[in-house]
Structure formats: C-alpha cells, structure tokens
Amino acid sequence: MRFPHPLTLLCGCVLLAAGASHVLPPGQYDRRDDPATGRRIVVAGTYHAVAARPVGPFQTLVAIPRGMADAAAVIFFVFLIGGAFTVVDETGALRQGVDWLVRRFGGGGEGGHSEALVISATSLAFALGGVLDNMKEEIIALVPVMLLLARRLGYRPVVAVAMSLGAAAVGAAFSPINPFQVGIAQQLAQLPLFSGSLFRIAFLAAALGIWIWGTTRYAARTRTTRTPEPGPPGPTAGALDGRRGAVLTLVLVAFAALVVGVLRFGWGFNEMAALFFAMGVVAGLVGGLGVGGTADALVAGFRSMAYAALLIGFARAIYVTLEEGRIVDTIVHGLFTPVAQLPLALAALGMMVLHGLVHVPVPSPSGHAVLTLPILVPLADLLGLSRQVTVLAYQYGGGLCELFTPTNGALMAILAAAQVRYEDWLRFALPLLLTLLALGAGAIGLGVAIRLQ
C-alpha cells in the first residue's frame, strides 16, 4: 500500500472534514472558564443542537491559512529551534558528539550489543522528554542529528524516528507527571495532582521495554553497512575539543532550562522559542562562527524548517474546519454516549478506544482533555467507575494514537524531515502500537479490579 504525499493526505483530511460538516448534525456543549486549569471546558449534559454551518469550498480553502495562524506559536517555535540547531550543527559540535558516541558505544561490530545500547540510551533520553513535558515539536530540529546517528550505525531512517518521536510519544502516554496530559486530566477530574504515580510508573517501564525491544529488533533485522563520516578524518575525529564540548554543554543547559521553565513557570511555545533562539546565537559565537556566520546558519535553519512548519499548519486546518462546521462536539457526543450502556470494565476499555478515535479530529492532548473529560467524569461517577481509571483511558487511548494519526502535525513533519514515508512508519509502528494498546487495556482492567484511586 502506498500513501499519498503528506500534503495531499492532509488536504484530503481537510476536504473530508468539510464534507462531514454537510452530513453530521451540528451541535455544541456549553462551556465555562475553569480556574483550576485556566482553560475553557465543556459543561456535561449541555449538548444541544445549533444552527447548521456547513463549510463551503472557499471556506475550506480559507481554513488552511486559518490553521497556520492558529498554530502560529508552534510554527514559529519550529522555525526558531530549527535555526538554533542548524547553528549548533554548523559548529561541528553535533557531528563530533555523534562520532564520539558511535566510537565509544557503537564498537560492538555487526550485530553487536553496543549498538543496542545506543538505541536504548537514546530512546530513554527522548522518552524522558516525553515523560516530563510531552516533547514533540522540539524533536523536529533534532532529526538531522538522529539521521546521522542512525546512518553511522547502519540503520534505516525509521529507526531514527522510532528512537526519538516514538520513544517520546510512549513516554508521554504512560507518564505519571506529564503536565499536558496527566496533569491537566487529573485537575479536570478533581484528583490530587500526579496521584497514582507508582501504578503508572510500573506500566511506563513495561511500555518503554516493549518499544525499545521492538526498535532494536527492527534495527537489527534491517541493518545495512555503516556509513562513514564523509571526507578525510580530521585530527579531532572521535574526540570532543573544548570549543565544541562547550557548545554541547550549552545545548544540555538549554534543555534543562526548558524542563524547569515548563514544569515550574508554565512556559509556552513563545518562551521556549526565545530560549532556543538565545541558545543558537550564543552557540554560534562560542563555536567560532562569528556574527555573520551565526546569522547565515540561522537563515539556513529557517529555510530547512519551512516544509515541517507547513505540515503543522495544514494539520491544524483539519480541526479548524471541523470547528467551523460545528461538528467537533457532535463527534464527541456521538462516540461517548453509548459507553453509558456498557458494563463497567467494558465501559472503561470503550473509553480508551474512543479516546483514540477522538484524537484524530482533536490532536492536541490538552484540547482533547478539556473537551472530553468534563463529560466523562460525571459519566464515570454514575457508572461507579474510578476517576483515576477514566484518566488512564484518556492517557493511553489518546496518547498512544499520537504514534500514527496523520492529524498530528509534529509526526508528519518529523517523517517528512527524515524522508520516511507514512506507510513505512505504519508498517513498523502498528504492531508495537497494538501491543502497547493491549498493555494499556490490561492496566485499565487492573485499575478497575483494584478500584484504583
């Protein structure tokens, strides 16, 4: 099976959303401001029909620039972080760092255990980013580095995406402390913040073990000969000199500041973009590029991120189209109403499956939470279902589907940057995704059995 070009696929989804606005009955929930989360959330039991507003052909076209404007903070973040990492790459620090990593840990020979150690360590590093702050868009700028690492080890580009985005998505979905998923969801469910962490950590460890095992197995099965670094080896090949070591230290400090800013000060994309822009400028000066060389590298980075930013805007246009047609709430209401008729355990599992379906038209984890959980928490109370289990269903269902849904702009942008076709990614990821969904279903079933609170 061969999927169309990513832009064609996303345009088709926009057209499908516009067509659905002519078929589905329009409806909306009432909304109110929630002081606990600082967001507007739906009011359970208030779904009502509204006047039809089908999206016409010209409105469908307008939804594309509207989607780009709606995702402006993310798009400019991608531009700035892409420029910053291009500057870092121009200093030679990233390539020296990868070379050192391969020489230090990748020396196990064909099929050796050292390469598996590199995959495990890299995946765990990105998984930590997912656990802490739902890392997605930040990975786009790191794709060239991951491709370089995979190529040096003789692995396909799919492995580079799996070690980065894939591991981060699994970490985010099973995280006990992700503020954009479990944090918001528990606030909406009026649960103690980050409660049930030990339960989640146990399944997080299992999920990461499954993902890393699958990635390592695929990498070993599809491995080719290693690609050497182009050009003659320099006097510092395989070693980090002081200047480039300082640049890599600066990168690590920037990521540490990012985590602190997000978790402690509630940073958004604008603050993160400013941080990485400053990192890029300082890295260029420390790395010896000078003012002019740093500016040239920033411009080159902006240029390289244009396609990725475009995909993010087109993906956002799908939600804009559904919202313009007033059918987002209709989809949620139609999916979750039948859950009330199911037995308790099946209702919990049904919630997880339906969260996966909802995540296609509503790919934002926080937007997904504020739309669905105010409806499902009262429903769970009526059914006698634990609110903690209701949050688990949202986490596992919506979070894991970030691995495949084409409306996830970050996924499509990363696949495009890595030159990995969507169907090739699905061929790798779907078996692992089904395994992880089964693990999530087991966690939910156990949560129901022990009445997890």
pLDDT tens digits for 90-118?
Answer: 998 888 888 777 777 665 444 456 778 88
Q: What is the pLDDT of residue 39?
A: 84
pLDDT of residue 175: 93
Are the beta carbons of 194 and 182 closer than 8 angstroms?
yes
In a domain, 86, yes or no: yes
Residue 394 within any structural domain of the chain: yes
Q: Is the pLDDT of residue 324 over 80?
A: yes
Domain count, the chain: 1
Q: So what's the pLDDT on residue 36?
A: 77
For residue 130, the surrounding DSSP H or E stretch is: helix 113-133
Q: Is residue 16 part of a domain?
A: yes
Expressed as residue numbers, the domain containing 79 is: 6-47+55-450
**pLDDT value at position 235?**
39
Q: Is 155 helix (H, G, I), strand (E, B) or coil?
A: coil
Instruction: Check whether 426 has a pLDDT greater than 60.
Output: yes
Neighbours of 37 (CB within 10 A): 16
Give residue 234's pLDDT: 43
Question: How far apart are the C-alpha atoms of 61 and 55, rounded to whole Å?
Answer: 10
Is residue 233 very low, low, confident or very high in pLDDT (cuts 50, 70, 90)? very low
Q: Where in 4-130 does DSSP place strands (E)?
A: 27-28, 31-34, 39-42, 48-49
Answer whether residue 168 shows pLDDT above 60: yes
Mean pLDDT over residues 149-153, rounded? 89
Q: Which residues contact 19 (CB under 8 A, 6 or more apart)?
A: none
- Structure confidence by residue, pLDDT tens digits, 268-300: 889 999 999 999 999 999 999 999 999 999 999
Q: CA nearest 267: which of 280, 281, 255?
A: 255
> pLDDT category, 228, cuts 50, 70, 90?
low
pLDDT of residue 432: 96
Mean pLDDT of the chain: 89
pLDDT at 59: 96
pTM over 0.75, yes/no: yes
Q: Does residue 203 fall inside a structural domain?
A: yes
In this structure, is residue 169 part of a structural domain?
A: yes
Mean pLDDT of 310-338: 92
CA angle 254, 176, 395 (to 5 degrees): 105
Q: What's the whole-number mean pLDDT along residues 358-363?
A: 89
- Mean per-residue pLDDT, 416-437: 94
1 located within any domain = no
Q: Is the residue at 282 inside a domain? A: yes
For residues 82 and 273, what is the distance between their CA atoms, to the nearest angstrom? 10
**214-239: average pLDDT:** 68
- CA-based nearest residue to 185, from 256, 223, 140, 134: 134
pLDDT in tens, 235-246: 344 456 788 889
197: closest CA among 216, 181, 211, 177?
177
Q: Residue 21 domain-assigned? A: yes
pLDDT digits (tens, 9 = 90+) for 118-138: 899 999 999 998 998 888 888
> Could you tell me which residue, 308 or 241, shows the higher pLDDT?
308
Helices H / strands E in the chain, number of each: 20, 4
Contacts of 79 (CB under 8 A, 6+ apart): 301, 302, 305, 309
pLDDT digits (tens, 9 = 90+) for 28-60: 999 889 887 788 888 888 999 999 999 999 999
Return the sign of the alpha-carbon dihedral for residues 431, 364, 414, 259: negative
Number of other CB atoms surrounding residue 217 within 10 Å: 12
Q: What digits encode the pLDDT tens for the residues 177-203?
A: 888 889 889 998 988 888 889 999 999
Identify the bridge partners of residue 414 per DSSP, sorted by sequence position.
Answer: none
